[in-house]
Structure 1
Amino acid sequence: MFKVSLFSMMFFLGAIVPVEEVSHVAVSDSQFSQCAPLNRPFKHGEELTYKLSYSLGIMNLNAGEVVFRLEDKGDTYKLTARGKTYKGYEWFFKVRDYYETEVDKETLQPIHAIRDIKEGDYAMYEETSFENGRVKVQRGTNASDLGDVEVIDVKKCVSDVLSLLYVLRTANTGTLKKGSELPMSLFIDKEEFNLKMTYKGNNKNKKIPGLGRFKTMVFEPEVVKGTVFKGEKGMKVWVSDDANKIPMMIKSPVSVGSVKATLKSYKNLRY
């Protein structure tokens, strides 16, 4: 069922996807760089709210929502994401998740990240510091119960789950061809993963319930092995085909049924 972190949908995590429908075309450095993002399609005060739902056959259940916020702190951005299940769903499974990442304003590289996870009977609090190719991680059940510091060597240009969402929005999508791949390095759960997003083409009339129809770009992400997603394929991401590059909808089959994140509302867009 839908006993899965709300953020699994939003951060494209699951099993690595080999794309067979089109030939692979790697993007050039001028189109996308995780080390030196090209632009900033967001600004102080941006807020994106997503509704998350679970479907099985004819049943469709609105399970919860996630709110993403960006604050300009001068030399850094503060990125936050707060997820919760709706009260009508909590008889089955209650979620209260909070993610926070401070990133360098020039590079969008993470400096410090917090994950505060409360899902059913499970609780985990994690603090991660990024220091030029070295990551320091502390984890416990809450902020006052952190364990020893673990030091892990990583690439100099690596993102956590929250900063990666914003880095991907900086890609120069105007020159993408079908099959183009956006490479990315992700650090999560004390491991580094090298993944990619594959451009699948456009949907010029994508319906987003409650908001209307939009021109969108369609991507198929690779996702991290060992989570709840079904098989190796199926996850799709629809991104607004404009200067803001906002994820409009994410949909994926899971082991039983499918899950979907749909943009519900937005505030303070840059464009």
Structure 2
Amino acid sequence: MKHNLKKVVIPLVTVFTVALGITAFQANDRYRQVPNDSFGKGERLEYRVHYGFINAAEARVDVSNSIVNVNNRPCYRVNVFGRTVGAFDLVSRVRDQWRSYIDTSAILPQMFKQEIEEGKYRKEETVLFNHGSNVVYSSVKDEKKSFKVPNNIHDVISGYYYLRTLNFDRMSVGQMIEVPTFFGGEVFPMKVRYRGKDEIKTKFGRIKVLKLNPIMPNNKFFKGEESINIWVSDDANKVPVKVEVDLWIGSLDMDLKSFKGLQSEMKWM
């Protein structure tokens, strides 16, 4: 069991990042205007991650109550926290924090920060986005680098919030959503396939959902490129309510544990 736990801890961060960082369509203008009735200040979501019957981790996502200015643009400050619990915490302790400052009108990142604590590994990074010049500036300790990026680049958190503003009724089942994303000093195409509408059972009751399938690259942890399934509420909020991840050594599940401050009332059945 201890051997298996070590193999599961590593993908936990990816589960948080993918589930809460799905991205969407790329626009062509530098500072677009994106209508948003899906999220706002004061929203708070909490999740429970379990490996079989074992509690593995917890995640919290919240939008601060105040608007902050970054690059002279008003921004939502979105905080994401992930931590291992129980036996997983004893095997390999994880305390990760990500923060994205998302432009309130363009729904684009102006700044991204991460503080990583995974076992003995530590990393702190600050990324500043210049959308006018399509350049990002990354600072890790005393090392500073600049990267040329595509138009309307996202970080792994801001893309999910952009996704929540979209109308999935205009998409066809099986349609692939792709957008360039900057993370870890690299630009990569994050891909998500829309699988259509569904209905699932949660601790709060049954709910109508949209099923999404992030496409994963081949690796030693995930069982194939379609190993992650995400169900988001089929309403204006588009909140992830359930995630299933197939690993080579088993499966992980992430479920919505609590929520508050939503823009619209969740439509439980």
Normalised to the residue count of structure 2, the TM-score between the two structures is: 0.83
Q: Contact between 1:199 and 1:220, CA under 8 Å: does it hold in 2?
A: yes
Q: Percent identity?
A: 28
Q: Distance in 2 between matches of 1:37 and 1:227?
A: 38
Tell me which residue corresponds to 1:76: 75
Structure 1: 5+ residue runs without aligned partners?
14-25, 140-145
CA drift of 1:77 comes to 0.5
CA drift of 1:230 comes to 2.0
Q: Give the aligned CA root-mean-square deviation in angstroms.
A: 2.3
CA drift of 1:54 comes to 1.7
Matched, 1:207 2:229: no
Tell me which residue corresponds to 1:264: 257
CA drift of 1:237 comes to 0.7
Matched, 1:183 2:183: no
Q: Contact between 1:11 and 1:165, CA under 8 Å: does it hold in 2?
A: no
Which letter maps to 2:235? D
Residue 214 of structure 1 aligns to a residue whose secondary structure is: strand
Q: Distance in 1 between matches of 2:102 and 2:126?
A: 14
Matched, 1:229 2:230: no
CA drift of 1:234 comes to 2.3
CA deviation profile, 1:187-246 (whole Å, cap 9, x unmatched):
111111123221112212x012x2221111111112355573222222111010111110
Q: Distance in 1 between matches of 2:187 and 2:218?
A: 12
Structure with greater helix percent: 2
Structure 2: 5+ residue runs without aligned partners?
1-6, 69-73, 265-269
CA deviation profile, 1:10-60 (whole Å, cap 9, x unmatched):
3328xxxxxxxxxxxx9897xxxx9553424011100000111123xxxx2
CA drift of 1:147 comes to 2.6
Which letter maps to 2:154? S
CA deviation profile, 1:60-93 (whole Å, cap 9, x unmatched):
2111111000124062100100111224432122
Matched, 1:52 2:53: no
Question: Aligned match of 1:174 in 158, 169, 175?
Answer: 169
Matched, 1:6 2:16: no
Which letter maps to 1:106? S
Q: Distance in 2 between matches of 1:194 and 1:250?
A: 21
Q: Contact between 1:136 and 1:152, CA under 8 Å: does it hold in 2?
A: yes
CA drift of 1:4 comes to 1.8
Q: 1:86 to 1:178 in 2, by over 3 A?
A: same
Normalised to the residue count of structure 1, the TM-score between the two structures is: 0.82
Q: Distance in 1 between matches of 2:26 and 2:113?
A: 32
Tell me which residue corresponds to 1:135: 136
Q: Distance in 1 between matches of 2:217 and 2:190?
A: 8
